[in-house]
Structure 1
Amino acid sequence: MARIGIIIGSTRPGRRGPAVGRWVHQVAVTDRPAVTFEILDLADFGLPLLDEPCPAAMGQYRYPHTHAWANAVARCDGFVFVTPEYNHSTSAAMKNAIDYLFAEWHDKAAGFVSYGVTGGWRATEALRLILAEVRVAGVRTAVGLSLFTDFSASGLTPAPHQRATLQTMLDELLTWSSALSRVRQS
């Protein structure tokens, strides 16, 4: 059974990431009961600015917060990155969390759900570049939620087409996660 981590990439107060992550999780578990989906909220891991004395590629982690994060990432076959767009990129917390690890990311797949004034597309594109370096394959289809049309005063209210796009992205993610599991086993 595949395990997919839904990584919520904002840690600031008043963030919208948890609502987006819950929506992704709800759609995912409803339509794909044979897959385990787990929310990995960066705020729960308390990762300070990268404080490991050795480069992540060495895999010599010193601190408990790094071990907890490494274990969470290692047990996943793929990921949905839920990212805000901050200043034309992903959040500093997301970049920091990726930089903490190396081998735990290798040969896994990623889907993207971004949000921002213009749908967060630049955050998704920035993540694609960062993740390529740690050998994570990004799927083509992505969801971009607009702060103007997919959120309301009551919270997240995605337009109907967003669910269909999310389902397509999840299908691609599961296909690539399955294919890459064979790469990890060889």
Structure 2
Amino acid sequence: MPNLHVIVASTRPGRVGLPVATWVARAATEHGAFDVELIDLADHALPLMDEPNHPRLRQYTHDHTKRWSATIDRADAYVIVHPEYNYSFNAAIKNAIDYLHQEWADKPVGFVSYGGISGGLRATQALKQVVTTLRMVPIVEAVPIPLVGQHLNDDGEFVPSEPIAAGAAPMFNELFRMHQALAPLRKRD
């Protein structure tokens, strides 16, 4: 079964991203098309890019980069769960993406965004420009979550509304379809 990484892009204390990503990972597991891993950027603690060589060379010198490379390399598809900060994406996800190059290529990516009234859609649009440069394939199907704070219960768990929950399956379907189409490009000697 292909491997889907659900990446928690926010590392801020008190973030909403982890409960949202936990729901996404659970929904992806229930969907059944992927083996699902929840990847929390806070657990990787990547410093601001500190590798001396360009990532396309894959000549990593730091153990944190080698671990990050191995993590990202084993995925067949991604869902990036991200906030919107000032009409764009947050610095932690940009840094995590920039650490690597080849590991991202020819893999589909979906987005679950959250924020205020826009649901993070502006951040998703900005992030799509970044991922296409690395030959990732952003899919159209996405799950924007407007007014995300209204979807947290008293225990801090994310409880999606019916329309938000209904948006997940089409995203997973398209990720699986694109994974199948792109898999031959990822064959390595």
Query: TM bucket by the smaller chain?
Result: over 0.9
User: How far 1:92 sits from its partner (Å)?
Assistant: 0.1
Partner Cα separation in structure 2 for residue 148 and residue 11 of structure 1: 17
Look up the match of 2:123: 123
Deviation at 1:35, TM superposition (A): 1.8
Match of 1:46? 45
Residue identity matched to 1:60:
Q
Aligned to 1:111, the other structure's residue is in SS state: strand
Residue in structure 1 matched with residue 112 of structure 2 by the alignment = 113
Give the superposed CA RMSD. Answer: 1.3
Q: Is structure 2 residue 95 aligned with structure 1 residue 93?
A: no
CA distance in 2, matches of 1:20, 1:110: 17
Does the 8 Å CA contact 1:109/1:139 hold for their aligned counterparts?
yes
TM-score for both structures, normalised by structure 2: 0.94
- Aligned counterpart, 2:134: 134
Task: Tell me the SS of whatever aligns to 1:162.
Answer: helix
Give yes or no for contact 1:119–1:145 (8 Å, CA) kept in 2: yes
Greater mean deviation of Cα atoms: 140-149 or 77-86: 140-149
| Alignment match, 1:30 | 30
Counterpart residue identity of residue 14, structure 1:
G
- Higher share in strand: 1
% same residue: 42
- Give 5+ residue unaligned stretches, structure 1: none
Q: CA deviation at 1:102?
A: 0.1
Runs of 4 or more above 3 Å deviation? none
Work out which of the residue numbers 156, 162, 165 in structure 1 matches 2:164: 162
Change (3 A) 1:53 1:149: closer
Q: Does 1:181 align with 2:161?
A: no
User: Is contact 2:4-2:35 (8 Å) kept?
Assistant: yes
Query: In the alignment, is the contact (CA less than 8 A) between 2:114 and 2:148 conserved in 1?
Result: no
Tell me how many residue pairs correspond in the alignment: 185
Residue 153 of structure 1: how far off its partner (Å): 5.1
Determine if contact 2:153/2:159 at 8 Å carries over to the other structure: no
> AA paired with 1:27?
A
Which amino acid letter does the alignment assign opposite residue 179 of structure 1?
A
Q: CA offset at residue 31 of structure 1?
A: 2.1
Structure 2: 5+ residue runs without aligned partners? Answer: none
Per-residue deviation, 1:89: 0.9
After TM superposition, the score normalised by the length of structure 1 is 0.95
Between the aligned partners of 2:152 and 2:182, the Cα distance in structure 1 is 38
